[in-house]
Structure 1
Amino acid sequence: MAIDMGILQALAANVLSWVFSTFLPAFMPKLLPAIEAEDTSTRASAESETNQTKCIAIGRPGGSEQLRLIALQPGIATCGYNIKGFKCPFTKPLKDDTPPDCVVLQNEAFSVNYADCCIRWGLYESANQFVGWPIVPGFDVAGTVEKVGSSSSFQVGDKVFGCTLFGAYSTRVLVPSLQLKKIPEGLSIPQAASLPAVSLTALYALFLAGHYGSHYKLTNRAILIHSASGGVGSMLVQMSKILGLNPIVGVVGRTQKVEEAKRLGCHVVIDKSQEDLWLKAEEASPQGYSAVMDANGVSTLEESYNHLAASGRLIVYGFHSNLPIGRAALSPMEWISMAQKASSMPKFDPMDLTKSNKSILSFNLSFFADETDVLSQFFDQICEWIQQGKLAPPRVVEYPMDQIVEAHELIQSGKSIGKIVLTTPAEPDTI
């Protein structure tokens, strides 16, 4: 079996962070590698200096001590990995050479996803494959267009939101125009920043399940949604209601989240901390489910599959239960636990899939660099639903940008509801 050197690097770096944070916290600053694009001059720390991009960069895998708020050298912004001529996460000095199909965005808010913790730990494959270290995490952006390329349809001053393939933890981001939309009327900047990744994930999941983008409706319209009050889950519930699915059965892990799932539109809410999840799921839809939406991983995948109806589809877009909850740095015991969970992941036999007429599909939108046309069309649908009042943003918990550690701690706790959004400082001067 080939050894994954990226995993070994992540293991060693995280254990080092854990050792220092537990036994030698005074030496933690020594774990912060230099970042070449950082401006370390005296000007960078002057209070009057605003003409610089500020971003949160991670120099190597590890705990929350790796989340550093830094100022970049003049003229540099952050960017995703899919912009030709630039090496993610930092651009060259932009000056007047904005790529024709891109905009420079004064980023006023960005969201925090659980994936960002996985990126920091070194466990996010697309980040390792396309970016490496250092990295600026984040996918969701919302703010004001500062500069436009010659073929961009936007104008300076437009309020827009959308996705970047990493680089969103920043006050200034270079983004392809196709990955942005104008903010619908009635949405605040933080609400707009909460939406793109979770709404696109939810709609693509429903597309894979056969409930969106087809003129033909499956006979069975029941759907089971794990983590129904979370970011993606809240979008899935609302979209399932728009698409006429019934019953919409939402699963939550804490009693405090039951009312939120009902408010979103679940016909049945199962509180798995108090009830037998699969018994209640069978009661809610005795004939099984046409779709089960599962980002849990090892804790529920097998039973999620077992509770599909004939022609049903299990849609997988995460593995939260495989990973530790409430841990900033991963100790040796966490790595042993993750290895044990990985070894006990269910195995699905293609012959059984055929006999039972069931399907398993999985995806990760951070690999969709070549599918931006598809996502742009999906994004148009999301904006239309928002404008029609059919789709509302998740509940938003706001933090200022310099409280990134607290934001990561909240999302790692498993206790957050909706979306965590960080707001950036006042607008910088134009590059």
Structure 2
Amino acid sequence: MANELTKKRTVLGQDPDIFLAALANIISWLFATFAPSLLPYLLPTSPDEEPFKGSTVTSRTKCISIGRPGGMEQLRLVTLRSGICTIGYNVRHVSPPPYTHPNVTLPSDCVIIKNEAFSVNYADCTIRWGLYESAKKYVGWPIVPGFDVAGTVERISDQSDGTDLHKLAVGDRVFGCSLFGAYSNRIVVPKIQLRKIPNCIDSFSMAAAFPAVSLTALYALHLAGYFPIVYGGGGRNKFSNKSILIHSAAGGVGSFLVQMSKILGLFVVGVVGSTSKVIDARALGCDVVIDKSTEDLWMKAKEASPDGYSTIMDANGVSTLNASYDHLAPSGRLVVFGFHSNLPIGSAMLSPLEWLRMAGRVAAMPKFDAMDLTVSNKSVLGFNLSFFADEVEVLSDMFDQILTWIEGGKLQCPRVCEMAMENVAEAHAFIQSGKSSGKIVLKTAAAWTI
């Protein structure tokens, strides 16, 4: 009975929120296409917002707020009322997201940082479309998207007893993760999810390029059996087949997967989508680079590792999942952490036709048979770190390992494309185009001048 009560309702086998998101996006498309002057009527406001004009604008929090599912028009740069800053659902014991109460009492496990830079991830586009499950489940609307932060500690708790392992002081330069809320110049973040920026990182923009994608890469390698979180990072790779194939090897997560795989002693075959990204993938350390825009991907993959792959890292979705599974070696693991090809590439707005195409891609998703998994001796694993609010010790251990590699010169920042905070729509369009390489980082300082 309990399972029946907790089972989520579906409509035509789908989450009802999907249909609401589709309707909202189609309305945005209709207005943008046929009546763009009416787009402002699609922008919900919040009582926490307040028009502000004055010379002390840095005393107020500015953030990117999304009021409902839709197009680029939903990316609103807003000023919050005095004493309010943004917050992720990982600190919902402080205040429900996306905003704190005015002059919130800060608990001992959190700090407020003056955020100088945050990165843009493809997940942020799916949040805006209303298709990101953890955002819908734990935040709702309005939402301030974003995971990566880099800035200075602005405020610490009066309750701190000075005995915690992650002691921070006002003025410390830090970087880390929030579970949403990062598109902001002032945010509450748990101390355990922040680290002091090492001297080898030259800028806040570079620091903001690291956390979410590097943590995603390391957890993916943990699932593949290469990084033992439980007993530290010194374990030896005992698999006889050391070949790993990494899709989108020059992208955000892919660039860290390549570097970490080399640190862990693997033979890395990187796949890129254009000739311009081949040099980037080679510079990261790929032993073999396959340019699928000019080469037969799976023929080249077979040539590079005739016995198959111990691991294939795949965030593509329907376009490659079946073939990725087929190219695993016995005991191989397919690790899935995204579905980019299920979603539109290059489309600024989601038209009715795009929704039909997405429905077709979902219908074509492969179904993995449990008996075949057993007989073939293969595994399929998936994860999303945005659900890891309660796994703070796991993420903390991984962050410590990443910091050690950074300080040791073993992990390099990918190429960073910097933009100003007010150009957030341009950043979303760029990452949706599929032409971006490395990380897109937005700087908040330019947004402090009205």
- TM-score range for the pair, normalised by the shorter chain length: over 0.9
Cα contact 2:10–2:16 (8 A) shared by 1: no
1:199 to 206, 210, 214: 214
Cα contact 1:294–1:318 (8 A) shared by 2: yes
Q: How do residues 27-106 of structure 1 correspond to structure 2 at under 5 angstroms?
A: 27-40=38-51, 44-83=52-91, 84-94=93-103, 97-106=105-114
In 1, Cα distance between the equivalents of 2:55 and 2:419? 21
In 2, Cα distance between the equivalents of 1:14 and 1:286? 45
**How far does residue 211 in structure 1 lie from its aligned partner after superposition?**
1.1
Q: How do residues 181-196 of structure 1 correspond to structure 2 at under 5 angstroms?
A: 181-187=195-201, 188-196=203-211
Aligned residue in 2 for 1:161 = 175
Q: Percent identity?
A: 63
Deviations along 1:228-278, whole A, 9 cap, x unmatched? Answer: 0000000000001111101x0000000100011001000100000101000
Q: How do residues 368-407 of structure 1 correspond to structure 2 at under 5 angstroms?
A: 368-407=388-427
In 1, Cα distance between the equivalents of 2:371 and 2:326? 15
Q: How many residues are paired up?
A: 424
Is 1:343 the counterpart of 2:351? The answer is no
Decide which moves more: 58-67 or 215-224.
215-224
Cα contact 1:108–1:427 (8 A) shared by 2: no
1:107 to 99, 104, 115: 115
In 2, Cα distance between the equivalents of 1:148 and 1:427? 24
In 1, Cα distance between the equivalents of 2:128 and 2:326? 34
Deviations along 1:283-311, whole A, 9 cap, x unmatched? Answer: 00000000000000000000000000000
1:282 to 280, 302, 310: 302
Secondary structure, counterpart of 1:355 in structure 2: helix
Using a 3 Å threshold, how does the CA distance of structure 1 residues 206 and 104 change in structure 2: closer, same or farther?
Answer: same
Aligned residue in 1 for 2:5 = none
Cα contact 1:107–1:141 (8 A) shared by 2: yes
**How far does residue 425 in structure 1 lie from its aligned partner after superposition?**
1.6
Cα contact 2:321–2:366 (8 A) shared by 1: yes
**How far does residue 6 in structure 1 lie from its aligned partner after superposition?**
1.1
In 1, Cα distance between the equivalents of 2:57 and 2:266? 53
Cα contact 2:422–2:447 (8 A) shared by 1: no
**How far does residue 327 in structure 1 lie from its aligned partner after superposition?**
1.7
Cα contact 2:421–2:446 (8 A) shared by 1: no
Is 1:229 the counterpart of 2:244? The answer is no
Aligned residue in 1 for 2:6 = none
Cα contact 1:78–1:90 (8 A) shared by 2: yes
Aligned residue in 1 for 2:232 = none
**How far does residue 328 in structure 1 lie from its aligned partner after superposition?**
2.2
In 1, Cα distance between the equivalents of 2:287 and 2:236? 25
Cα contact 2:94–2:106 (8 A) shared by 1: no
**How far does residue 394 in structure 1 lie from its aligned partner after superposition?**
1.1
Aligned residue in 2 for 1:329 = 349
Cα contact 2:176–2:211 (8 A) shared by 1: yes
Return the letter of the residue paired with 2:173: K
- Normalized against structure 2, the TM-score is what? 0.92
**How far does residue 50 in structure 1 lie from its aligned partner after superposition?**
2.6
Q: How do residues 134-283 of structure 1 correspond to structure 2 at under 5 angstroms?
A: 134-149=142-157, 150-151=159-160, 153-187=167-201, 188-213=203-228, 214-246=235-267, 248-283=268-303
Cα contact 1:121–1:329 (8 A) shared by 2: no
Secondary structure, counterpart of 1:123 in structure 2: coil
Secondary structure, counterpart of 1:82 in structure 2: helix
**How far does residue 200 in structure 1 lie from its aligned partner after superposition?**
0.1
Return the letter of the residue paired with 1:348: F
In 2, Cα distance between the equivalents of 1:135 and 1:129? 12
Superposition CA RMSD, Å: 1.4
Aligned residue in 2 for 1:133 = 141
In 2, Cα distance between the equivalents of 1:317 and 1:49? 39
Decide which moves more: 151-160 or 384-393.
151-160
Cα contact 1:51–1:74 (8 A) shared by 2: yes
Aligned residue in 2 for 1:24 = 35
Structure 1: unaligned runs, 5 residues or longer: none
Structure 2: unaligned runs, 5 residues or longer: 1-8, 161-165, 229-234
